[in-house]
């Protein structure tokens, strides 16, 4: 008869395949070398990018220096332009006012009788003219004011003062006339 053993007996272990330590070591070294190579490649790329950025930065700094120089030149030009405009404005004002006193004196001198009336002071401030003088008679002062009114150069002619006085041993009339220039 056949005998069947239903009890478990000693079993044989499964045999695992053993790896060769040298193969594992070679694989590890290969992975380390591959990782090191990847790091070196990445480092090289970063170095190239850093160098490119530094070159770009230097170019930008050169452009900035050139632009600063141009800005300085423009500011100097604008300052010189403003100075010249101010000088031109002053010259124009001087040219406008240069002929004014001469014309005032011309019209005033045409209006007076030199043997009867003489001027002591003539003051011009803007459009206002103040004339002070002496006359032998009060009629000479009135004639002078009327002659001024006949000119088209003055407006608002006002006799401010006319009083009798003496100069030396001669009786004279001291007068003051205020005028306004037209236009």
Span 174-180, average pLDDT: 89
Measuring CA to CA, how many Å separate 66 from each of 56, 93, 169? 15, 41, 83
Q: Locate tokens 């010259």: which residue?
A: 91
More confident residue, 181 or 4: 181
How many structural domains is the chain composed of?
1
Q: Is 90 exceeded by the pLDDT of residue 159?
A: no
Q: Which two tokens stand for residue 128?
A: 């206002």
Instruction: Examine residue 142 and state whether it is found in any structural domain, yes or no.
Output: yes
Instruction: Examine residue 151 and state whether it is found in any structural domain, yes or no.
Output: yes
- Quote the pTM value: 0.47
| pLDDT number for residue 85 | 94
Q: Band of the pLDDT at 1, cuts 50, 70, 90?
A: low
What are the tens digits of pLDDT across the range 48-92? 999 999 999 999 999 999 999 999 999 999 999 999 999 999 888
Distance CA 79, CA 89 (A): 15
| pLDDT number for residue 36 | 95
Asked if 163 contacts 174 with a C-beta cutoff of 8 angstroms, the reply is yes
Instruction: Examine residue 97 and state whether it is found in any structural domain, yes or no.
Output: no
| pLDDT number for residue 101 | 67
Instruction: Examine residue 100 and state whether it is found in any structural domain, yes or no.
Output: no
By percentage, how much of the chain surpasses pLDDT 90?
34
What are the tens digits of pLDDT across the range 3-38? 776 666 666 667 666 667 888 888 999 999 999 999
H-run or E-run covering 174:
strand 170-181
Instruction: Examine residue 172 and state whether it is found in any structural domain, yes or no.
Output: yes
Instruction: Examine residue 131 and state whether it is found in any structural domain, yes or no.
Output: yes
Instruction: Examine residue 93 and state whether it is found in any structural domain, yes or no.
Output: no
Span 109-125, average pLDDT: 76
Q: Which residues lie below 8 Å from residue 182, measured CB to CB, with a gap of 6+?
A: 152, 153, 154, 155
Instruction: Examine residue 63 and state whether it is found in any structural domain, yes or no.
Output: no
**Domain containing residue 158: CATH number:** 3.30.1360
Mean residue pLDDT across the chain: 84
| pLDDT number for residue 114 | 62
Residue 149, domain extent:
112-181
């Amino acid at each position: 008869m056949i005998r069947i053993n239903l009890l478990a007996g000693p079993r044989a272990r499964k045999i695992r395949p053993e790896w060769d330590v040298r193969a594992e070591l070679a694989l590890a070294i290969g992975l380390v070398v591959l990782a090191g190579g990847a790091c070196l490649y990445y480092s090289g790329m970063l170095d190239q990018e850093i160098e490119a950025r530094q070159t770009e930065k230097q170019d930008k700094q050169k452009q900035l220096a050139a632009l600063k120089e141009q800005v300085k030149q423009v500011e100097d030009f604008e300052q010189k332009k403003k100075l010249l405009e101010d000088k031109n404005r002053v010259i124009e004002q001087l040219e406008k006012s240069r002929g004014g006193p001469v014309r005032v004196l011309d019209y005033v001198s045409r209006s007076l009788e030199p043997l009867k009336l003489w001027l002591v002071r003539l003051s011009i401030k803007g459009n206002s003219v103040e004339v002070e003088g002496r006359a032998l008679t009060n009629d000479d002062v009135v004639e002078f004011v009327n002659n001024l009114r006949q000119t088209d150069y003055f407006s608002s002619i006002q006799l401010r003062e006319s009083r009798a006085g003496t100069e030396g041993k001669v009786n004279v009339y001291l007068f003051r006339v205020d005028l306004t220039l037209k236009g």
